[in-house]
Amino acid sequence: MRRLPPLRSLEAFVRVARLGTSKAAAAELALSAPALSRRIKALEDHIGKQLFERRNQAMVLNEDGQSLLDAVAPAMETIGEAVDQMTVSGGSLRLRLGVLPLFGATRLVPRLPEFRRLYPKLHIDVDTSTHAQNMLGDVIDAAIIIADQVDPNLYAVKLDTNKIYAIAATDLVHGPNAIKTPEDLMNHNILIHSDMVKAFDRWKEAVGKPDLNPVSIDQMNSGPLILEAVAQGLGVAIMHGGHFSDANDPRLARLFDYDIDSPYSYWFVCRKRDKKNRAVRIFHDWVLKAGL
Amino acid 113: pLDDT:
94
Give pLDDT, residue 56. Answer: 72
Residues of the chain with CATH 3.40.190.10: 88-160+265-290, 164-255
The pLDDT, as a whole number, for residue 89 is 46
Q: Give me the average pLDDT of each 10-residue run along the chain (292 residues).
A: 78 85 78 85 89 82 89 79 54 87 88 92 89 82 92 91 93 84 94 91 94 94 90 94 86 92 93 88 91 84
pLDDT single digits (tens) 235-270: 999 998 888 888 889 999 999 999 899 999 999 999
CATH tag for 7-86 (out of 3.40.47.10, 1.10.10.10, 3.40.50.1220, 2.120.10.30)? 1.10.10.10
As annotated, the residues of the chain forming the CATH 1.10.10.10 domain(s) are 7-86
| pLDDT, position 128 | 87
Per-residue pLDDT at 201: 94
CATH no. of 164-255: 3.40.190.10
Q: Where does 88-160+265-290 sit in CATH, by number?
A: 3.40.190.10
Strand partners, 192: 219
Residue 218 has a pLDDT of 95
Strands 52-55, 58-61: parallel, antiparallel or unpaired by DSSP?
antiparallel
Q: Kindly tell me the burial class for residue 9, based on how many C-beta atoms sit within 10 Å of its own C-beta (0-12, 13-18, 19 or more).
A: buried
Q: Which residue type, as a one-letter code, is found at position 16?
A: V
Q: CA dist 93 to 135, 136, 279, 280, Å? A: 20, 18, 6, 10
DSSP, residue by residue, 108-119: IGGGHHHHHHH-
Alpha-carbon distances, residue 73 vs 13, 36, 272 (angstroms)? 10, 18, 16
